[in-house]
Amino acid sequence: MPERDQVVVTDPVQRKAIIVELVIVFTVTLGMNGLRSLLSLIDALLKPAPLSDQKVAINVPQAVDTTIDLIKQLLSATQLVAWGALGLYLVWRAGHKLTEVGLKFFRSDMVRGVGLAALIGIPGLGLYLIVYALGGNLAVQTTTLDDTWWRPIALVASAAGNAWAEETLVIAYFITRLRQLGLHENQSVACSAVLRGSYHLYQGFGGFVGNLVMGLVFGRIWQRTNRLWPMIIAHTLLDTVAFVGYSLLRGVSWLPK
């Protein structure tokens, strides 16, 4: 792994400040989503119908009027961008250059991102279908948006927003802070992966396991290469294919409805 510039924080006051910061950041962002997802899964398990007979939607209409709906969809994506920016700002305020957490773009990052998307996406789809067939996952509807001219735009914006927020917060910000607290690289990537899986629990056990594995792979690659853009690009492609592809393939016999 590349040499780490971060110095482990030993001052008790500073360590406490980092822990408090982590709690606050993830309480208002993805950590709270993880708690809600856990409760959603428990609620689904308490229902008489098996998980595979239940549905969950990701991108849903937010208004009756299509123009207002479009604006609200874009605002949701903007909020995700702001979440990621918050994590990066706090890292910067702590004295780290953004290039130190992998935000320096290389031409090869695009190719790496496409390769990562294929590496994660194809097995991930297979895992989802298998777990769904075994009754361990809900039928995930990646979008229930109406067929409007702006639906592809909103779905791509959502995909990019999710990718940016998750990779900057769960990898760049979270693992950097865990390093400062002295956690080993294996412990840091494991915590990051569990956090990533937690806010996908609303999809079922397959959603958790699939994203846990994705988190382990992405986190380890970042630790070894210190390049974040391949993960952001790969995640954007994965979600774009899932969101837009579902809207085009809705009704196909082998796709859970």
Q: Note the pLDDT tens digit of each residue in 35-48.
A: 999 999 999 999 99
Check pLDDT > 50 for residue 192: yes
Helix (H) or strand (E) holding 57: strand 55-59
Query: pLDDT at position 2, please?
Result: 46
Report the distance separating Cα 112 and Cα 257, nearest Å.
32
CA distances from 15 to 7, 20, 63, 93, 98 (A): 12, 9, 44, 15, 21
Phi, psi (degrees; rounded to nearest 5) at 222: -65, -40
- Least-confidence region, from 6-10, 139-143, 176-180: 6-10
User: Is 90 exceeded by the pLDDT of residue 254?
Assistant: no
For the stretch 198-241, pLDDT in tens is 999 999 999 999 999 999 999 999 999 999 999 999 999 999 99
Give CA–CA dist 178/175, Å, rounded: 5
**Which of the pair, 197 or 5, is modelled with greater confidence?**
197
Q: In percent, how much of the chain has pLDDT > 70?
A: 95
Q: Pick left, alpha or beta for residue 148 (phi over 0 → left; psi -120 to 50 → alpha; otherwise beta).
A: beta
Asked whether residue 129 carries a pLDDT value surpassing 50, the answer given is: yes
Percent of the chain with pLDDT over 90: 92
